[in-house]
């Protein structure tokens, strides 16, 4: 089989990362086309990434007979419709998280995905493709920690990304802090425990950036999850981390505990100077999960070549969005929310 020809929609903060990986870092694929509403981004795709075709209109790109696959990195509220159109036009589809922001729309999208079982569908929960998370998962599956009792997750974006975030949130609906940020941690809790979430209680506070009130967004939020087997999930999500990008996960079990990136270290360098002993920290998601983004894309391309579906599917998208919506409701209505089956 020749190289898989991919068309990408969205060349923003994350789209550029995926596009660079598809063009230069992932074997057996070619970034053939790109679609964006921003002319400068299409110029960038032609000049810097060498794409053959650019489109301002997605409906035209999905009909391009040269394309085998579509990579969706557009705003979250557009994913469902774009997945459906790509599937209906016979393309394999990778979609960024969240799969969607509305449960009925996701269910409709899942029906379209299910109606095309020969086509690959993958959702971008890239942490599952990070070497450290995979190592931790292996420990859990081997029973090294015994039975899990608590999964604690921090996911806090750098405060220096606030300006670009306010622009992003003003231009499109992110789904709120829980659907935009905690969704990765919700997926991790489901993945590590192999359990679904039954109850959530969420809280939030805007303190340093009151402009987030104007775009209906939260600066810091916290949620407690109860899984079907009573395992607890504790999530902290935020957008105001002064030392960089803080993603930390802790698993507590009956025989032991483990932590992933307890300190969000950038590398193995330690600096000793007038500030004391300084460990540099990772600064943003493209840096921290650089290899995970490459790994997940390589897995998508391999799945197409090997005609098998990947480990992260549309149901993972549906379940995680349901939990994120429940967290948002719990925060807004100040009550414990139960999830139905």
Residues that bind ligand NAI (CB under 6 A): 9-15, 35-38, 41, 58, 73-76, 78, 96-97, 124, 126, 168, 180, 285
Smallest distance, Å, CB 13 to ligand NAI? 4
Do the Cβ atoms of 216 and 259 come closer than 8 Å? no
List CB contacts of 1: < 8 A, sequence separation 6 or more: 305
Nearer Cβ to ligand NAI, position 96 or 185? Answer: 96
Nearer Cβ to ligand NAI, position 149 or 172? Answer: 172
Nearer Cβ to ligand NAI, position 180 or 231? Answer: 180
List CB contacts of 257: < 8 A, sequence separation 6 or more: 145, 250, 251
Residue nearest to ligand NAI (CB): 12
Nearer Cβ to ligand NAI, position 16 or 231? Answer: 16
Nearer Cβ to ligand NAI, position 32 or 58? Answer: 58
Compute CA distances 145 → 128, 139, 159, 256, 257, whole Å: 19, 7, 34, 5, 6
List CB contacts of 338: < 8 A, sequence separation 6 or more: 198, 199
C-alpha span between 52 and 3 (Å, rounded): 14
Smallest distance, Å, CB 313 to ligand NAI? 16
Smallest distance, Å, CB 149 to ligand NAI? 27
Nearer Cβ to ligand NAI, position 124 or 264? Answer: 124
List CB contacts of 273: < 8 A, sequence separation 6 or more: none
Q: Is the peptide bond before 98 cis (omega within 30 degrees of 0)?
A: yes
Smallest distance, Å, CB 279 to ligand NAI? 23
Smallest distance, Å, CB 333 to ligand NAI? 24
List CB contacts of 301: < 8 A, sequence separation 6 or more: 4, 26, 27, 28, 29, 69
Smallest distance, Å, CB 61 to ligand NAI? 9
């Amino acid at each position: 089989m020749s190289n898989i020809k991919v068309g990408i929609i969205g060349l923003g903060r994350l789209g550029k990362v995926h596009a660079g990986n598809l063009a230069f870092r992932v074997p057996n694929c070619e970034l053939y086309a790109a679609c964006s509403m921003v002319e400068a981004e299409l110029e960038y795709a032609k000049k810097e990434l060498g794409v053959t075709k650019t489109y301002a209109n997605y409906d035209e790109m999905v009909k391009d007979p040269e394309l085998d696959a579509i990579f969706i990195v557009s705003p979250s509220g557009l994913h469902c419709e774009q997945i459906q159109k790509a599937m209906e036009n016979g393309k394999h589809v990778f979609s960024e998280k969240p799969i969607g922001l509305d449960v009925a729309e996701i269910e409709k999208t899942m029906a379209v995905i299910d109606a095309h079982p020969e086509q690959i569908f993958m959702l971008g929960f890239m942490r599952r493709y990070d070497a450290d998370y995979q190592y931790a998962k292996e420990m859990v599956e081997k029973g090294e920690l015994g039975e899990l009792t608590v999964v604690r997750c921090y996911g806090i974006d750098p405060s220096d990304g606030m300006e670009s975030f306010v622009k992003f949130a003003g231009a499109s609906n992110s789904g709120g802090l829980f659907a935009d940020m905690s969704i990765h941690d919700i997926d991790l809790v489901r993945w590590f425990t192999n359990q679904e979430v039954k109850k959530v209680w969420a809280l939030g506070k805007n303190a340093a950036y009151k402009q987030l009130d104007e775009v209906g967004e939260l600066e810091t939020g916290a949620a407690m999850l109860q899984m079907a087997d009573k395992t607890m999930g504790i999530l902290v999500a935020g957008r105001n981390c002064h030392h960089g990008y803080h993603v930390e996960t802790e698993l507590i079990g009956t025989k032991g505990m483990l932590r992933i990136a307890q300190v969000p270290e950038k590398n193995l360098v330690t600096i000793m100077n007038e500030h004391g002993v300084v460990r540099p920290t990772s600064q943003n998601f493209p840096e921290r999960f650089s290899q995970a983004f490459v790994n997940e894309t390589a897995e998508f391309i391999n799945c197409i070549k090997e005609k098998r579906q990947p480990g992260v599917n549309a149901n993972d998208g549906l379940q995680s969005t349901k939990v994120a919506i429940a967290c948002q409701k719990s925060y807004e209505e100040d009550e414990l929310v139960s999830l139905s089956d």
